[in-house]
Structure 1
Amino acid sequence: PIITFDTEDEAIRLANNTEYGLVAYVFTRDLNRGIRMGERLETGMLGLNAGVVSNAAAPFGGVKQSGLDREGGLEGIEEYLYTQYIGIADPYAG
């Protein structure tokens, strides 16, 4: 839905007042305002002056009841990996 607002604080309050958080969209001529609002929105993805955010190289996922973790991008593959450190003795150490 499209809802009008008077202040950024009101817009953020309205947008975050939901149990979902897959994607939000901000359309503005002021890039600083868009970034500022994006940092405050409780969402997994943000379309800033863009109507489509899907990209195979980018992580896809939400927050709240819109899911946990990510699929796609480097973040998506990390769920299937684990990190292991192996310390090997230096053969030249005396």
Structure 2
Amino acid sequence: TDEADVVSQANDTIFGLAAYVYSENISRLWRVSEQLEYGMVGMNATAISNEVVPFGGVKQSGVGREGSKYGLEEFMTIKYMCLGL
């Protein structure tokens, strides 16, 4: 199978929490990772989550993020206010 087939098979699921890509080719790591429909992608790494990274998935694996500033933004509303003087 070629790279496009692998990405297609990986994305052919209703889930999308985390995926992992291993390669010696850095360009391939980035290219494949960008095409994967997952909330988190480990590139040559298994420990991809900690308290400062945005944890979360896509598809049936959840909406939104936990942790990091992105997790806080889920609970915040931005309001613009302008006072004329």
TM-score (norm 1): 0.87
Q: What per-residue deviation string (whole Å, max 9, x for no partner) do you get for residues 27-75 of structure 1?
A: 0001110110011101000000001111211100001110010001111
- Identity of matched residues, %: 44
Q: Partner of 1:86 in structure 2? A: 81
Secondary structure (helix, strand or coil) at the match of 1:21 reads: coil
**Structure 2 stretches of 5 or more lacking a match?**
none
The correspondence for 1:44, drawn from 17, 39, 43, is 39
Q: Which structure has the larger Rg over C-alpha atoms?
A: 1
Alignment of 1:13-92 (within 5 A): 13-90=8-85
Structure with the larger RCO, 1 or 2 (CA within 8 Å, 6+ apart): 2
Higher helix share: 2
Shift of 1:80: 1.1
Structure 1 runs of 4+ aligned residues shifted over 2 Å read: none
Amino acid at match of 1:55: N
The size of the alignment, in residue pairs, is 85
CA distance in 1, matches of 2:70, 2:54: 6
**Structure 1 stretches of 5 or more lacking a match?**
1-5
Secondary structure (helix, strand or coil) at the match of 1:33 reads: helix
- RMSD (CA atoms): 0.8
